Amino acid sequence: MEALELEGVVKRFGDFTAVDDLSFAVAPGEVFGFLGGNGAGKTTSLRMVLDILRPDAGTISVMGHPPGRSASPDLGFLPEERGLYRSMTAIDTIIYLGRLKGMTAGAARREGMALLERFGLAEFARTSVEKLSKGMAQKVQLATAIVNKPRLLLLDEPFSGLDPVNQGLLEEVILGAARDGAAVVFSTHVMQHAERLCDRLLFLAHGRKQFEGTQDEARAALPIQLTLTSNRSPASLEGVAEARELAPRDHGWFDWEVQLQPGQDPGDLLERCTSTGFPLRRFEQRRASMHDVFLHIVGGAEARS
Ligand SMILES: Nc1ncnc2c1ncn2[C@@H]1O[C@H](COP(=O)(O)OP(=O)(O)OP(=O)(O)O)[C@@H](O)[C@H]1O
């Protein structure tokens, strides 16, 4: 059974369609990146999974249940807008949220203390939230999201506002939860996080899915790019779509950025260079970043609107 499944989900606010015919599924143990620019519809989609908003069309299934109370014990959520009861202590905050998800006070306390220990906050367990630094309070909120060991963990822009050390801690939490069998969905517009963590990802623009698949599948959408160093222009080589001079080297040699024609194989081009005596000092395939891929796939969708 999928941990989360959306089928043809639509959400409108008046005449405005914020989420448009969105379908995807996330399996247990998978880290799924939900990527889109500002206003793409990420938060609205997550709010429908949490039953804070109701879709106008389509269906959502959380561990086989419709969103709502029956799904709550299986769910963990870190909202984009962080906020805790300021006068409550760190541990009481975690126990309170744990109880809302159906845990006993004893179990929530035990797990809460273990998490505070893990996050380096054990000595602040009885400190009220208002006396904690912003980063500490964010870690308490993260603890509230995972205290019940959720089978579906939803994180809305979880990295924003975290320093590099705490970003690393959050990455460990995400990967650890997935290793323990949870499905983890996190939204972000920072592609580097997605690149390091995601098994699969979805690109959203204007509420519509532009791509869903693995990182390798996403990279395959981009034309293959190579960097060559030669004293001749590779522009007229068979299979080359575009060649751009990058930087001059010594004695008339240059670095070239080369884009292959669709379906062309870099190995075939290298063989052709060797067999025709094309001068080469370097022949390297460039690995596209998720940022490049996102701009390639979603850039067009942004421009169309
Ligand atoms: N309650 C609402 N009423 C009217 N419009 C809304 C409402 N909530 C969201 N929207 C609109 O729906 C669109 C999607 O918003 P959403 O918050 O889901 O985007 P997002 O992808 O999470 O963006 P961001 O990264 O900026 O948080 C935006 O244009 C937003 O203005």
Query: How many Å lie between the centroid of ligand 1 and the Cα of residue 43?
Result: 7
User: Which pLDDT does position 289 carry in this prediction?
Assistant: 85
pLDDT at 127 over 70: yes
Query: How many Å lie between the centroid of ligand 1 and the Cα of residue 260?
Result: 39
* 160-209 confidence digits (pLDDT tens): 888 888 899 999 999 999 999 999 999 988 888 889 999 999 999 999 99
Q: Between 134-146 and 105-118, two packed helices, what is the crossing angle to 10 degrees?
A: 130
Burial of 133 (0-12, 13-18, 19+ CB in 10 A): exposed
Mean pLDDT, all residues of the chain = 90
Q: Rounded to whole angstroms, how far apart are CA atoms 295 and 202?
A: 13
What is the number of other CB atoms lying within 10 angstroms of the CB of residue 224? Answer: 21
Pocket probe for ligand 1: among 42, 77, 302, the residue whose CB has the most ligand atoms within 8 Å is: 42
Residue with CA closest to ligand 1 atom 17: 43
Stretch 69-82: mean pLDDT: 84
Higher pLDDT among residues 40 and 302, named by residue: 40
pLDDT at 305 over 60: no
Q: Which residues line ligand 1 (CB under 6 A)?
A: 13, 16, 18, 36, 38-44, 80, 189
* 219-235 confidence digits (pLDDT tens): 888 888 899 999 999 99
* 141-155 confidence digits (pLDDT tens): 999 999 999 999 999
Query: How many Å lie between the centroid of ligand 1 and the Cα of residue 73?
Result: 27
User: Which pLDDT does position 141 carry in this prediction?
Assistant: 92
What is the number of the ligand 1 atom nearest to the C-alpha of 189?
25
* 265-288 confidence digits (pLDDT tens): 889 999 989 999 999 999 998 888
Query: How many Å lie between the centroid of ligand 1 and the Cα of residue 175?
Result: 28
- Give percent of the chain above pLDDT 70: 98
Query: How many Å lie between the centroid of ligand 1 and the Cα of residue 106?
Result: 38
User: Which pLDDT does position 12 carry in this prediction?
Assistant: 96
Q: Rounded to whole angstroms, how far apart are CA atoms 10 and 246?
A: 46
